[in-house]
Structure 1
Amino acid sequence: MDIFRSVVENYEGHVVTKINLVNDNGAEISCLTMGATWNEFLVPGEDGKKHNVLLNFDQPSEYYANSLCCCQSIGRVAGRIKNGQFTLNGKQYQLPTNENGNTLHGGDGGFRFLNWGYTTSRTENSVSVIFQKHIKEERDGFPGNFLATVIYTLDNKNRVTISYSALNGEEETLFNPTCHAYFNLSDRHDLTTHSLQINSHEYLQLDDELIPTGRVLQVDDTPYDFRKFKSLQQAIDENQGFDDAFVVNGPGMATEPIVVLRDNESGRQITIKSEGTGLVMYTMPEVADGVKFSRDHGEDAIPCEGVALEAQQLPDAINNENFGDIVLKKNEKKTYHITYEFTQK
């Protein structure tokens, strides 16, 4: 097990450090202090080379030249909060808004815009990087201050576990984090060889601004039925892309995966588990001009080049009953885990 560190860029006055974690199998991840970003998931191939199964950029500043939130830590609250408004303990709050009058992914002062302090640790079978930051009400507009911790751990089962924790202070607030990880497991420029399975019988109805209406729909006889493996690209073509939330779990950590993504050509597979109630899938139907992922070797990115699989509590949970509890009480500590296990078939 190895840990390496390097300074990669000075971005807007922030010294950005890259931390690489390597396991005994030769699998490797790298993370950036800026945004507590998951920068790479490098897996050994039969050709002796390492292949990155995440979409990423060469420089930290490139993550902020577009709105993809690519592989960054999202918080305090993932997804959209309608009108940036919610009521807590009888008091109505108005958050800063950043998309069509709604608050998306924690707003413009959210986790992904912060440069995090870090430490590292290792055990016999795993290596970790621990990011930590005091989250201030003055910075993001959410009520109250708390201590946030994001831990990336790589173990010898080629499994990455992301643990998000919040230790709250004297004012109740909200906490619903995720990692906005985009995957492409293939050696291709698209998702044509990918199959997907989602352990979900229901998905959320969304309005024109992608805000949940409160209605939960059955996946039967719709493009949203991924209960058995099926071609992801065919489903994308049928549905004209996805930016949707699937209902995946009840209380507690799922014993079964919430989603499995497989590349049929290379045999690479990612299995994801989470204790959250939701999985948001975004297939990137549009890409702004000038976006160039590292894997594209200077070529422009294309629509549907990767798929974001965001495990979390369901979006706008604070305004919808039974979508999951995202309230962080006074002096409470909450922790959420997401695991990503790589296998090669």
Structure 2
Amino acid sequence: MLLAAAAVAGLTANTAQAGEAKRSTFGRTSDGKPVPAVTLTNSHGVSATVIAWGASLQSLKMPDREGRIDDVTLGYPDMAGYLKQPEFFGATVGRVANRIARGRFTLDGKTYQTPINDGPNALHGGTRGFDKVVWDVVSVKSGTTPSVTLRYVSRDGDQGYPGTLTVDATYSLDENNALTIDYRATTDRPTVVNLSNHAYWNLSGEGSSAGAMNHILEIPAQRFTPVDETLIPTGEQRPVAGTVFDFRTPHQIGERVRDARDIQMVYGRGYDHNWVIGDRVTQDQHLMARVHDPLSGRGFELWSNQPGLQFYSGNFINGTVTGKAQRIYRGGDALVLEPQLFPDTVNQPAFGSARLDPGQTYRNTMTYRFSTGQTTPPQQR
């Protein structure tokens, strides 16, 4: 009897530690196509919901220091919002994330034109980038590290890009409160690739009136890439020392976000720039940023294998969007941190290369190591 009781107790403990991946349907597209959703949950009150529309992180719920659980990513409660006013909320962006000057690039002597959708430039893959399509759910796994893998096949000529590109996006959540997003891609002919995730974070809660400008940010970068008035990098790598771009020591974002003495802040209406973390893609991950919200106690470290980090302080959120908590999103209500290649790398050889050839595998692996500051058991709010 004692052995049997011990076995049952052990089974119960193991079950409590197991994560879960639960399937559902988030909604339908305008032509009636169902949009699957998968929610990953661990035993510490952290959960991530991923929808097949844009392989997007639709929700990330986590406890604060008092154990109260809130959703800390901006987004919509249903498909209607994503279809009407996408905003890249939590989306996988590509085939080339960030901006391409004039939407043009040359590969092997041939010039390609992609759609212009950001002033005179292309942004996040074009007018119908990876954020505006339904991905296939190819794998869902429960266990100690629940995960979901989604796949999209971008055909040759899609948005003007050469080659058929097959992309896998895998989201996994472990018992250490780490959410990993792993992007991998292969091609059947030479092309260019730069994928990232565009999650908007407000660690006070996406419905909080506090916004994200009180968050404390640290970026371990010695340099950043200045931009022109259309937000295309000039090619310079400028030292952050003595500028509003110096986050080598922690700073409150709102402290300098409206400092118009630096023309770079005028161009971006705040921060919308790339920080130079390294000079190449690495095999292993390295620290990209630390974020802490003094109000809730929540925070995260962001790690990736990419050389650049685009930090966007939500400057263009203009009060026309109503989010999941039925609150209007305004400028500064969230921050975005995108590990990636430098913007316009396809046109600036000094930045490296975005080229992908047949037989190679593109990889961008990013991990959010969340901390809750939790002192009491989590309570669903």
TM-score, with structure 2 as normaliser = 0.85
- Pair 1:152 & 2:171 matched: yes
In structure 1, the residue matched to 2:278 is 249
The offset of 1:260, in angstroms, is 0.6
In structure 2, the residue matched to 1:23 is 42
- Pair 1:37 & 2:56 matched: yes
Q: What's the CA shift string for 1:93-128, capped at 9, x where partnerless?
A: 222222223211000121101101103343642011
Q: What's the CA shift string for 1:12-55, capped at 9, x where partnerless?
A: 12211221011122211001111111011111345544211211
* Aligned sequence identity (%): 28
Match of 1:198 among 200, 203, 219: 219
Residues 29, 83 of structure 2: 8 Å contact kept: no
Which residues of structure 2 form unaligned runs of 5+?
Answer: 1-18, 260-264, 374-381
Match of 1:258 among 270, 288, 312: 288
Equivalent position SS for 1:151: strand
* Aligned amino acid, residue 321 of structure 2: V
Equivalent position SS for 2:342: coil
Residues 300, 368 of structure 2: 8 Å contact kept: yes
Residues 76, 175 of structure 1: 8 Å contact kept: yes
In structure 1, the residue matched to 2:370 is 342
Q: What's the CA shift string for 1:132-187, capped at 9, x where partnerless?
A: 11111343220111211111111111111111111211x20011000011111115
Higher relative contact order, chain-length normalized (CA < 8 Å, sep 6+): 2
Residues 254, 273 of structure 1: 8 Å contact kept: no
In structure 2, the residue matched to 1:330 is 358
In structure 1, the residue matched to 2:335 is 307
Written as runs of structure 1 = structure 2, the 5 A alignment for 1:174-213 is 174-187=192-205, 188-189=208-209, 190-213=211-234
Distance 1:236 1:338, change over 3 A: same
In structure 2, the residue matched to 1:89 is 108
Residues 249, 275 of structure 1: 8 Å contact kept: no
In structure 2, the residue matched to 1:7 is 25
In structure 1, the residue matched to 2:347 is 319
The offset of 1:253, in angstroms, is 4.7
Moved more, 328-337 or 252-261: 252-261
Q: What is the CA–CA distance in structure 2 between the aligned matches of 1:159 and 1:3, rounded to whole Å? A: 15
Q: What is the CA–CA distance in structure 2 between the aligned matches of 1:41 and 1:11, rounded to whole Å? A: 23
Q: What is the CA–CA distance in structure 1 between the aligned matches of 2:359 and 2:304, rounded to whole Å? A: 24
- Pair 1:236 & 2:257 matched: yes
Q: What is the CA–CA distance in structure 2 between the aligned matches of 1:222 and 1:6, rounded to whole Å? A: 47
Residues 315, 332 of structure 2: 8 Å contact kept: yes
Residues 76, 106 of structure 1: 8 Å contact kept: yes
Moved more, 244-253 or 214-223: 244-253
* Aligned amino acid, residue 346 of structure 2: I
Distance 1:230 1:141, change over 3 A: same
Q: What is the CA–CA distance in structure 2 between the aligned matches of 1:192 and 1:316, rounded to whole Å? A: 28
* Aligned amino acid, residue 104 of structure 1: L
Q: What is the CA–CA distance in structure 1 between the aligned matches of 2:40 and 2:143, rounded to whole Å? A: 13
Q: What is the CA–CA distance in structure 1 between the aligned matches of 2:299 and 2:37, rounded to whole Å? A: 25
Match of 2:298 among 253, 268, 286: 268
Residues 274, 311 of structure 1: 8 Å contact kept: yes
Q: What is the CA–CA distance in structure 1 between the aligned matches of 2:222 and 2:302, rounded to whole Å? A: 17
Written as runs of structure 1 = structure 2, the 5 A alignment for 1:35-184 is 35-66=54-85, 68-122=87-141, 124-169=143-188, 171-184=189-202
Q: What is the CA–CA distance in structure 2 between the aligned matches of 1:37 and 1:69, rounded to whole Å? A: 9
Moved more, 151-160 or 2-11: 2-11
The offset of 1:62, in angstroms, is 0.9
Moved more, 284-293 or 192-201: 284-293
Q: Select the structure that is richer in strand.
A: 1
Residues 69, 112 of structure 1: 8 Å contact kept: yes
Residues 46, 62 of structure 2: 8 Å contact kept: yes
Equivalent position SS for 2:45: coil
Q: What's the CA shift string for 1:282-322, capped at 9, x where partnerless?
A: 1122334430121xx32321210000111111111111123
Q: What's the CA shift string for 1:257-290, capped at 9, x where partnerless?
A: 1101100122211110111111111112233443
Q: What's the CA shift string for 1:311-341, capped at 9, x where partnerless?
A: 1111111111232321111232222101111
Larger radius of gyration: 2
Moved more, 214-223 or 235-244: 235-244
The offset of 1:67, in angstroms, is 5.3
Measured on the aligned residues, the alpha-carbon RMSD in Å equals 1.8
TM-score, with structure 1 as normaliser = 0.94
Q: Report the number of matched residues.
A: 342
Residues 66, 288 of structure 1: 8 Å contact kept: no
Moved more, 206-215 or 18-27: 18-27
Equivalent position SS for 1:191: coil
Q: What is the CA–CA distance in structure 2 between the aligned matches of 1:96 and 1:162, rounded to whole Å? A: 27
Written as runs of structure 1 = structure 2, the 5 A alignment for 1:285-300 is 285-294=315-324, 297-300=325-328
* Aligned amino acid, residue 215 of structure 1: E
Q: What is the CA–CA distance in structure 2 between the aligned matches of 1:221 and 1:164, rounded to whole Å? A: 35
